[in-house]
């Protein structure tokens, strides 16, 4: 064997011995170490994780006097509570709204009671006096018509009796049938003229009373509109969603007010003169005034539709103003129709005369 091969053999044997030694020591088990402790009572703390549903031992169904949305919850899940402790509360917005509406209704009722206790206002008295005068005029016209009818009936009876007497009489002075017909026609014409003139006068008196009465309705409506426009509680929110409605309302109200003095003057002239043309002119002006007042109320309702509520101006107050404007608009519209009807009746009485 050569020296070179012996050298490699020794190296191989050394490597094998090294591997055997490493394997031997790596497989040796470490010696067990033991610790001792004196026996005693102690607490053992250990965390346990579980997955599942936690259910209470007892469950109670809760019933509430009023239904609604929950506004707040005062306790947490699993919290221990005492008897009588608040668990949750409902939203109070709807209840507060109802409270405000009830309060507004109470205020209106109290205001009406105060008016009753204090006596009628000047406007109410004026309206009542106008209605009374109109009723008296209607009564007088009815009495006059009754008297005219009685007179006509009496004349017809007299004519019939005369005709009967003429038929029975053989006197040469007895008028002929033609003469009797002419006489009867003349009497009927006189009666018709008298009754026609009375009808015209009654229609004129009634129309003038209506004009005076309906002017007052328009004035009251414009005064109520002024109250809304000058209300300090609503000035910052009035028509904020559409400011044009405020401008239209104010402009139309001013147009109606600018007519008022001329309207009153023309009605006063018609009352004093009693002329047909004066009555018709006054009627046309009163109707135009009422139409302008009604238009201002229509704009006012649009203005209120564009109004929002605030801390100083509640939903109940807004609803109250809307109701007032709607009511006034209906009254003004009815007044304009009454004026038109009265003037038409007066014109018809003249045409039929």
So what's the pLDDT on residue 262?
A: 94
Condensed to tens digits (0 to 9), the pLDDT of residues 14-72 reads: 888 888 777 776 666 666 666 677 777 777 777 777 777 777 777 767 666 666 677 77
Instruction: Decide if 61 is inside a domain.
Output: no
So what's the pLDDT on residue 344?
A: 87
Instruction: Decide if 206 is inside a domain.
Output: yes
So what's the pLDDT on residue 223?
A: 92
Distance CA 278, CA 209 (A): 14
* Bridge partners for 73 per DSSP: 88
Between these two residues, 220 and 135, which has the higher pLDDT value? 220
* Bridge partners for 72 per DSSP: 89
Q: For residue 192, is pLDDT > 70?
A: no
Instruction: Decide if 115 is inside a domain.
Output: no
Closest listed residue to residue 234, CA positions, set 322, 325, 311: 311
Instruction: Decide if 267 is inside a domain.
Output: yes
Question: For residue 134, what are the domain limits?
Answer: 121-351
pLDDT band at 172 (very low <50, low <70, confident <90, very high): very low
Model pTM score: 0.50
Return the number of other C-beta atoms located less than 10 Å from residue 306's C-beta.
17
Instruction: Decide if 12 is inside a domain.
Output: no
Instruction: Decide if 309 is inside a domain.
Output: yes
Instruction: Decide if 54 is inside a domain.
Output: no
Condensed to tens digits (0 to 9), the pLDDT of residues 247-293 reads: 999 999 999 999 999 999 999 998 888 888 888 899 999 999 999 99
| Domains in the chain, number | 1
Average pLDDT over the chain, rounded to an integer: 77
Instruction: Decide if 116 is inside a domain.
Output: no
pLDDT band at 350 (very low <50, low <70, confident <90, very high): confident
- Burial of residue 46 (CB within 10 Å: 0-12, 13-18, 19+) is exposed
Q: b vs e for 75-108, b when ≥16 Cβ sit within 10 Å of the residue's Cβ? A: eeeeeeeeeeeeeeebeeeeeeeeebbeebeeee
At 89, phi and psi to the nearest 5?
Answer: -135, 145
DSSP string, 155-166: HHHHHHHHHHHH
So what's the pLDDT on residue 298?
A: 95
Condensed to tens digits (0 to 9), the pLDDT of residues 220-254 reads: 999 999 999 999 989 889 999 999 999 999 999 99
């Amino acid at each position: 064997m050569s020296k070179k091969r012996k050298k490699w053999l020794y190296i191989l044997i050394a490597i094998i011995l090294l591997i055997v030694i490493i394997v031997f020591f790596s497989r040796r088990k470490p010696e067990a170490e033991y610790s001792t402790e004196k026996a005693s009572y102690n607490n053992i703390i250990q965390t346990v994780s579980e997955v599942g549903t936690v259910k209470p031992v007892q469950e109670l169904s809760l019933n509430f006097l009023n239904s609604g949305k929950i506004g707040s919850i005062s306790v947490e899940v699993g919290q221990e509570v005492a008897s009588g402790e608040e668990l949750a509360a409902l939203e109070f917005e709807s209840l507060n709204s109802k409270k405000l509406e009830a309060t507004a209704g109470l205020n209106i009722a109290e205001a009406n009671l105060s008016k009753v206790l204090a006596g009628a206002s000047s406007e109410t008295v004026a309206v009542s006096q106008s209605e009374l005068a109109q009723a008296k005029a209607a009564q007088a016209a009815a009495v006059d018509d009754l008297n005219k009818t009685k007179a006509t009936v009496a004349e017809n009876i007299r004519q019939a009796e005369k005709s009967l007497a003429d038929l029975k009489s053989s006197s040469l002075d007895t008028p002929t049938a033609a003469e009797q017909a002419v006489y009867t026609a003349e009497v009927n014409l006189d009666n018709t003229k008298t009754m026609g003139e009375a009808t015209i006068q009654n229609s004129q008196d009634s129309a003038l009373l209506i004009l005076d009465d309906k002017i007052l309705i328009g004035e009251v409506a414009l005064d109520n509109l002024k109250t809304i426009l000058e209300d300090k509680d609503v000035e910052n929110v009035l028509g904020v969603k559409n400011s044009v409605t405020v401008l239209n309302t104010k402009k139309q109200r001013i147009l109606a007010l600018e007519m008022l003095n001329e309207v009153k003057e023309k009605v006063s002239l018609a009352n004093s003169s009693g002329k047909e043309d004066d009555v018709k002119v006054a009627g046309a002006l009163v109707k135009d005034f009422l139409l302008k007042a009604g238009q201002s109320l229509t704009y006012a309702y649009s203005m209120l539709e564009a109004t929002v509520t605030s801390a100083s101006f509640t939903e109940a107050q807004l609803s109250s103003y809307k109701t007032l404007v709607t009511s006034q608009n209906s009254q003004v519209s009815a007044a304009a129709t009454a004026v038109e009807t009265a003037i038409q009746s007066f014109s018809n009485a003249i045409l039929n005369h």
